[in-house]
Amino acid sequence: MTPEPITPELRLMTMDDLPVVIRNERRAYSHPWTEGIFADSMSNQANECWLLSSRSKIVGHVVMSVGAGEAHLLNVCVNPEFQGHGFGGLLVEHIIGRARSRQAATMFLEVRASNQVAYNLYEKLGFNEIGVRRNYYPAYVGREDALVLALELV
């Protein structure tokens, strides 16, 4: 018998999704977003908050802000149990498409300097490094630099 194919589905995040979103954040990140940050993001009309599910399980989420012709990728998270299967790429590609549909000319993001897996994904999708924000992220000891990346959308 052939296993059922995995068909990921994307949909907008709702407040009812927050318990699972927060659980995924805490599993994936040393310094996760809080429920309040997600609630604020969902209430801001400049933002889009999307979920990716597979076989009825929420496996990841992405948050973007758009304004003044720019898009900012604020958060991408895939539950560690589902990492390595292309879900992060699906989320980022989807949000790039959403940014284009909202007439953003450029998308920006910050990534931890130590997060080589994410950096490689963004580079593969066409992002270019344009700067460094020193001591941007909290770390277990001290702070960590963020690399600033940009993607031209037009």
Q: Are 123 and 134 in contact (CB under 8 A)?
A: no
- Angle CA(113)–CA(115)–CA(119) in degrees, nearest 5? 85
Q: Are 115 and 128 in contact (CB under 8 A)?
A: no
Give the H/E segment covering residue 71.
Answer: strand 70-78
Active-site residue, selected from the candidate residues 25, 110, 137, 144? 110
Q: Is 136 a catalytic residue?
A: no
Alpha-carbon gap, residue 111 to 136, rounded angstroms: 10
Alpha-carbon gap, residue 70 to 72, rounded angstroms: 7
Active-site residue, selected from the candidate residues 25, 81, 93, 122? 122
Q: Is 110 a catalytic residue?
A: yes
CA-wise closest residue to 108 among 99, 120, 116: 99
Alpha-carbon gap, residue 28 to 8, rounded angstroms: 19
| Residues tagged active-site | 110, 122
